[in-house]
Amino acid sequence: MTDKAYALFEEQQQSRGIDLEVIKSRLKALQIETPSWGYGDSGTRFKVFQKEGVPRDPFEKLEDAAQVHKVTGLCPSVAIHIPWDKVEDYGKLRSHAESLNLKIGAINPNMFQEEEYMLGGVTNSDPAIRRKTTDHLLECVDVAKETGSRDLSLWFADGTNYPGQGSIRKRKNWMLEALGEMYRAMTPEMRMLIEYKAFEPAFYHTDIADWGMAYNYAVKLGEQAHVLVDTGHHLPGANVEHIVSYLIDEGRLGGFHFNSYKYADDDLIVGSINPYELFLIFYQILDAAESGEERLVQAVNNIAYMIDQSHNIEMKIPAMIRSVLNVQTQYAKALLIDHKEVAEAQANNDVLGAEDAVRRAFEFDVTPLLHAVREEQGLPLDPMKAYLSGSYGQSILARGKGGASW
Ligand code: PSV
Ligand code: MN
Ligand code: MN
C-alpha cells in the first residue's frame, strides 16, 4: 500500500521535474530542538493543571525528550532553561543526555521569575539588580561550556507597564551593556540568539519589542549575535516570513521558536492554527538556499529550529510529537516548490502564476513521501501511533502528580 502510494507520488512529482532523492535527503537532515520546559507542567496565569507522569527533574525531562526523538528521528537536542533546569553537575546532565542519544542544545537564562526582577533585570534602574542579572547571563555562558552548547538564547521580560515608569533610553543602553558583557565572555564557537517579543508580561513597552531592536543589538555586538524569531511574539497581522527573509539576507537569522498562536503568545502546538504561515516561512528559507549564493546558503544552514510551546490541557509528549511532525510536514511541502517556475512567473510579472506556483506545493499530500523517508531511516511510519501504543506513557505514571513546573 505504502509502495503504491509512493509510486504514484513519485510519478506526480517527477512529471513536475522534482527530484525526490534530493528532497528525501533534505528531510533526513532536518533537526528540531525540543524545549525541556515543554515536558513540565505549565499553563496560563489562571491555572496550571498538574498532570500525572510529568518529569520531576531535568534528568527525567531529557528521558521524555528522548522518546520524541526515538519515534520521530528529528529531535536530537534539547534546550534547557536556567534555573528551571539548574543542577549541581552539568557534566552529569550532559552524560545523561548522551546516554539517551541526545545533546543539550540552547541554554536559556531565566531572568523573570525572581522577586527582584519585578521592574526589570538588566534594565532595572537599581545597579545591584542589573549586576545580579548580568551575572546570571555570565553563569549561563559557563553552563554552555559544560554542556557543550553552541547557542545562548536570550529572552528578556524587561519592560514597563505605564508611561513614565522608566527611561526607555536609559534602559536601551543598560541592555546593551549587559549583552556586551555576556558577548565578550562567550567562546568564539558560541552564538548569542536575541529573542524579541511585542508585549507580555510588560504591557506598555518591552525593552526588546521587535526584530528591528533585536537586530540592532546583534549588529552592535558582532558577528556571533543573531536574532531569534519566536512565531508567537508579534503584533497581530505581522508578516513573519518577511522578517525571516530580511534577516536571512542580513546574515542574522539565528533561529526559531516555533509555536502556534491565535491571538498572541499562545504557545500552542506548532502548525495547529496557521500551517500556511509555517509553510511560507520555509518557502523563504528555501528560496534563499536555492539562490546558490554562498552567504545565503551558509545563513540558512545556521538556522536553529527550536520548539517553544507549553501545554496546559494536553499530554506533553504527544503534544511535542505532534508539533515536530507538523514542522516536518510543512517543510516537506515547501520542498516541493518549483523555484524556477516561481522565478519565471516573477520575471513575467505573472502575479497569479507566481502565487499559484507557491500555493500548489502546499496542496500536495506528502504522507507517502514522509512514510518513505521514515521507512528508509528505520523509523515508525506513524510516530504518534508508535508512541501511544508503546509502554513509556504508562510507565511514567509512576512518577505521580506534581512534577516540575516548566
Ligand atoms: C517568552 O515568552 C518565551 O517565548 C521565551 O522564549 C522564554 O524562554 C520561554 O517563552 C519560556 O516559556
Ligand atoms: Mn520563545
Ligand atoms: Mn513566548
> What kind and span of H or E run contains 107?
strand 103-109
Q: Which atom, in ligand 1's list, is nearest to the CA of 108?
A: 8
Q: Give the domain ranges of the chain.
A: 2-110+231-399
Pocket of ligand 1 contains residue 39 by CB under 6 Å: no
Specify the pLDDT at position 25.
98
Specify the pLDDT at position 1.
52
Pocket of ligand 1 contains residue 37 by CB under 6 Å: yes
Q: Which atom, in ligand 1's list, is nearest to the CA of 42?
A: 12
Nearest ligand to the C-alpha atom of residue 38: 1
Cell 495547529 found at: 272
- Using a 10 angstrom Cβ sphere, with 0-12 exposed, 13-18 middle and 19 or more buried, the burial of residue 126 is exposed
Prediction ipTM score: 0.99
HSE at residue 63, side-chain half, CA atoms within 13 A, is 13
**Could you tell me the distance, in angstroms and rounded to a whole number, from the CA of residue 344 to the centre of ligand 1?**
41
Q: Which CATH class is domain 2-110+231-399?
A: alpha beta
Pocket of ligand 1 contains residue 265 by CB under 6 Å: yes
- In the chain, the amino acid numbered 246 is Y
- Is the omega angle on the peptide bond into residue 83 within 30 degrees of 0, that is, cis? yes
- In the chain, the amino acid numbered 55 is P
CB neighbours of residue 318 within 10 Å: 18
Q: Which residues of the chain fall below pLDDT 50? A: none
**Could you tell me the distance, in angstroms and rounded to a whole number, from the CA of residue 70 to the centre of ligand 3?**
27
Instruction: Taking the CA atoms of 327, 268, 242 and 193 in sequence, report the sign of the dihedral they define.
Output: negative
